[in-house]
Amino acid sequence: MKDDKPIKTLMGTNGHLDLDTGGKSVDQKVYRSMIGSLLYLCASRPDIMLSVCMCARFQADPKEAHLTVVKRTLRYLVHTPKFGLWYPRGSTFDLIGYSDADWAGCKINRKRTSGTCQFLGRSLVSWASKKQNSVALSTAEAEYIAAGHCCAQLL
């Protein structure tokens, strides 16, 4: 990948991965090591968390389509080496939380993915993105559950 062209966007426009049962399998050990390295990097680069976690779901039987998304993430990192978390000195201590959820966003089992982030002043102090255990019956229910998780983290 040394000569690959860097890209400006992290994910494609559809933003979804599926099992790709008919796809060609790739080396599981190499795929898992790439995912492990990217998960380690998520501590300072929360912008790649969703993409990496979506790829991590397919570690048991990775296909070429999944490896392509991992490589796209690496190409994005090459393009954005100066992105990261920044904690400025002298900012206020207002605690603010944001949450969002999709409804039945996973094409495989129709479960929702919710995400939250918490700021202390202008500094990001906590974030999460999780595929939920249950299926929500409405968009409002999915949003309320995500807001509840965000409030729990703030408390």
Continuous H helices in the chain: 28-41, 49-56, 64-79, 139-154
Give yes or no for residue 87 having a pLDDT over 80. no
Per-residue model confidence as pLDDT tens digits over 88-99: 777 788 899 999
Q: What is the pLDDT of residue 91?
A: 75
Give yes or no for residue 107 having a pLDDT over 80. no
pLDDT > 90: what percent of the chain?
Answer: 42
**Nearest CA-CA partner of 111 in 92, 88, 130, 84:** 130
Give yes or no for residue 113 having a pLDDT over 80. yes
**Nearest CA-CA partner of 113 in 95, 100, 96:** 100
In the predicted model, what is the mean pLDDT of residues 144-152? 91
pTM of the model: 0.68
Q: What is the pLDDT of residue 32?
A: 97
Per-residue model confidence as pLDDT tens digits over 53-84: 989 999 999 999 999 999 999 999 999 999 98
